[in-house]
């Protein structure tokens, strides 16, 4: 099976390089699992906060099974035996899905894997554990008062937020506790943790991948995507999640690539480090021959109004949570309750208007993007804030959360696909460059991103 370039970036092995090592007998699935388990268990590391549950016995048994199948020439795929993590939002047969909350602790264990989990298992990936997350996926920061907050890779001795809501997913990959992660993205929850931890995160066209078996945040906006160490790694996992066979990823040539930088909203209030890293990346692409055009994107101005009464997430999460909150609201994270409650004030007419407004927005956005191969913009407006500064200060938390979510949420509302690439240099705070295409253009976006990766990810 083709699986893309085999180069190994400085921050860890790719799925392709691991597959080659397994095929050539340089490692075994059991060795890979044991190495990940050791990193999770390291008391000096973030494993205790990055994971809500670790299935050591199940992972070892699955790894041994994949090693036997490979020895017999019957491995289900080239990736069989590679350990991945799964966000605590997904059903895994025999386990309770808590969604980063305490209020679901008493729920029965899942009777079946979520479809995306089942698809990864069928390819032979080994599920090493369930990763921590913002409670019910409702923030872009990653703080969890119930299970602790894993620290971003940046200045770990200080303690910066990991990004949310797929917080543990990002840290698990960045720290080598897993070699890929399943996350969700409703307003940036794959891309923000990727940006805050120096890895790659992908948000697919939402309709491509089934969301069954995942606790919903917004049935309209939810999408399921990977976090991994390279564009090719994300493309491999994305293909499997969509029920497809991974294919060779051919990077687009940078010379002549048509990129648009939106000047509306996404460049406002950038931290200095974000602005500098983003402009440096754009300049490098121009020097390599890309045609970069800065354009107004009036569609982005419309999204703030659509969010004014809580948007889709407010209405749809309140509908899902209202009965549970009537019994257990005191056990929720208060900051999550505030967001869910926004949906209570929406009327049926408000919601119908919102659906209609988005339909028009999606069409206009696609038309605006048509002349270009991709848009390029900063993933977040901010670098990861300090955890201590946000835990005790609701105003600081709200400001940081809005800055983290702002740019990525625009793409969920316009039904696009997007990928975040790390563009910081050694010693700098982590910064993500997001490439965007309209819904349905996932294959093209991966090719563009693979080309851009060779220029901006050093």
Mapped onto helix, strand or coil, the DSSP state of residue 456 is helix
Is 101 annotated as catalytic? no
Token readout for 449 is 């991103």
Catalytic residue among 85, 152, 165, 167: 165
Farthest CA pair distance, the chain: 62
**Residues with Cβ within 8 Å of residue 193, at least 6 apart in sequence:** 142, 162, 163, 164, 166, 167, 169, 170, 171, 183, 201, 227
DSSP 8-class letter at 157: T
DSSP 8-class letter at 187: S
Alpha helices in 123-271 (DSSP H): 167-174, 191-197, 231-241
Distance in angstroms (rounded) separating the CA atoms of residues 372 and 293: 9
Residue (of 139, 234, 91) closest to 149 by Cα position? 139
Token readout for 420 is 């975040």
Is 165 annotated as catalytic? yes
Catalytic residue among 87, 203, 309, 342: 87
Distance in angstroms (rounded) separating the CA atoms of residues 48 and 267: 36
Backbone angles phi, psi at 200, to 5 degrees: -110, 140
**Taking the alpha carbons of 352, 354, 358, 364 in that order, is the dihedral positive or negative?**
positive
Token readout for 171 is 């840290």
Is 408 annotated as catalytic? no
Tracing tokens 């999204």 back to the chain, one arrives at: 303
**Taking the alpha carbons of 142, 147, 153, 156 in that order, is the dihedral positive or negative?**
positive
Q: What share of the chain is helix, strand, coil (3-state, %, to 5)?
A: 45, 15, 40
Catalytic residue among 85, 189, 223, 408: 189
* CA distances, 102 to each of 131, 317, 328 (Å): 15, 17, 10
Catalytic residues: 87, 165, 189
């Amino acid at each position: 099976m083709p699986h893309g370039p085999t180069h190994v970036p400085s921050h860890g092995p790719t799925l392709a390089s691991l597959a080659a090592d397994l095929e050539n007998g340089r490692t075994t699935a059991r060795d890979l699992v044991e190495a990940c388990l050791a990193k999770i268990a390291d008391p000096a590391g973030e494993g205790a906060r990055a994971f809500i549950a670790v299935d050591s016995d199940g992972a070892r048994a699955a790894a041994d099974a994949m090693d036997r199948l490979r020895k017999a020439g019957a491995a289900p795929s080239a990736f069989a035996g590679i350990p991945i993590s799964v966000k605590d939002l997904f059903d895994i047969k025999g386990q309770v899905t808590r969604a980063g909350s305490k209020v679901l602790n008493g729920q029965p264990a899942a009777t079946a894997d979520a479809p995306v989990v089942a698809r990864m298992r069928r390819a032979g990936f080994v599920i090493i554990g369930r990763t921590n997350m913002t409670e019910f996926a409702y923030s872009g920061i990653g703080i969890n008062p119930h299970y602790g907050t894993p620290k971003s890779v940046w200045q770990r001795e200080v303690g910066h937020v990991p990004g949310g809501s797929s917080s543990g997913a990002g840290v698990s990959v960045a720290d080598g506790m897993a070699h890929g992660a399943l996350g969700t993205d409703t307003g940036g929850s794959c891309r923000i943790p990727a940006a805050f931890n120096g890895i790659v995160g992908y948000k697919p066209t939402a309709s491509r991948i089934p969301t069954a078996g995942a606790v919903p945040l917004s049935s309209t906006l939810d999408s399921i995507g990977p976090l991994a160490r390279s564009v090719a790694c994300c493309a491999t996992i994305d293909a499997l999640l969509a029920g497809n066979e991974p294919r060779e990823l051919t990077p687009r040539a940078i010379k002549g690539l048509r990129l648009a930088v939106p000047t509306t909203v996404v460049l406002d209030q950038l931290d200095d480090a974000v602005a500098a890293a983003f402009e440096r990346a754009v300049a490098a692409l121009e020097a390599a021959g890309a045609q970069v055009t800065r354009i107004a994107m009036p569609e982005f101005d419309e999204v703030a109004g659509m969010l004014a009464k809580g948007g889709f997430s407010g209405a749809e999460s309140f509908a899902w949570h209202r009965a549970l909150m009537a019994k257990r609201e005191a056990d929720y994270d208060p900051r999550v309750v505030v967001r869910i409650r926004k949906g209570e004030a929406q009327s049926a007419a408000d919601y119908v208007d919102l659906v209609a407004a988005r339909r028009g927005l999606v069409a206009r956005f696609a038309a605006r993007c048509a002349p270009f191969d991709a848009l390029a913009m900063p993933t977040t407006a901010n670098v990861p804030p300090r955890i201590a500064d946000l835990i005790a200060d609701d105003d600081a938390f709200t400001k940081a959360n809005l800055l983290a979510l702002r740019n990525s949420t625009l793409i969920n509302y316009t039904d696009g696909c997007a990928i975040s690439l790390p563009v910081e240099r050694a010693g700098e705070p982590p910064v993500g460059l997001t490439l965007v295409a309209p819904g349905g253009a996932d294959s093209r976006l991966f090719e563009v991103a693979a080309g851009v990766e060779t220029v901006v990810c050093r």
